[in-house]
Amino acid sequence: MSTPPLPVVCALIEDGAGRVLVAQRPAHKHLGLKWEFAGGKVEPGEAPEAALVREIREELGCTIVLRAPLPRYTHDYGTVVIEMIPFRCALGPGSPAPQAHEHVALRWVTPAELPALDLAPADRPLLAKLGG
């Protein structure tokens, strides 16, 4: 019997200038120093939308507005299979600017800049959704 995929949410936080926010993982964590779209694990019984709002508040100290869900997909890291649950988002009205509480760096990048970044493998399929 196989283990069901681990549900993971991520936010493609877009600004008004056509850029998206990426965050760099700490060196000591899994996939250290790779760039990713911020998010995290969905807790048991938690809706993905609520999980994403919570994770962004914890990781970046800001609030978001979910604009649209993107198609879910799975990614096999070998030791774990995740179900990626992505959403297009924007910063909430009056939200503070994102801060790197759990990452080593944050960057606003254009879709054209994304392919050059060392993105986490599970985030790469999202490039097509941004035109990158």
Quick: pLDDT tens for 87-125: 999 999 999 999 999 999 999 999 999 999 999 999 999
Helix, strand, coil: what percent of the chain each, to 5?
Answer: 20, 35, 45
Instruction: Give CA–CA dist 130/38, Å, rounded.
Output: 15
pLDDT score recorded for residue 1: 52
| Distances, alpha carbon 109 to alpha carbons 42, 44, 66, 115, 132, in Å | 26, 33, 19, 10, 10
| b/e per residue 28-49 (b: at least 16 CB within 10 A) | eeebeebbbbbbbebeeeeebe
Write down the pTM of the prediction. Answer: 0.94
For 11, the token pair is 């936010």
pLDDT score recorded for residue 129: 82
Contact residues for 3 (Cβ-Cβ < 8 A; gap 6+) = 81
18 φ/ψ sector (left φ>0, alpha ψ -120 to 50, else beta): left
Q: Delineate the domains of the chain, giving CATH numbers in brackets.
A: 6-130 (3.90.79.10)
* Encoded amino acid at 7, one letter: P
Worst-scoring range by mean pLDDT, 7-11, 62-66, 76-80?
A: 76-80
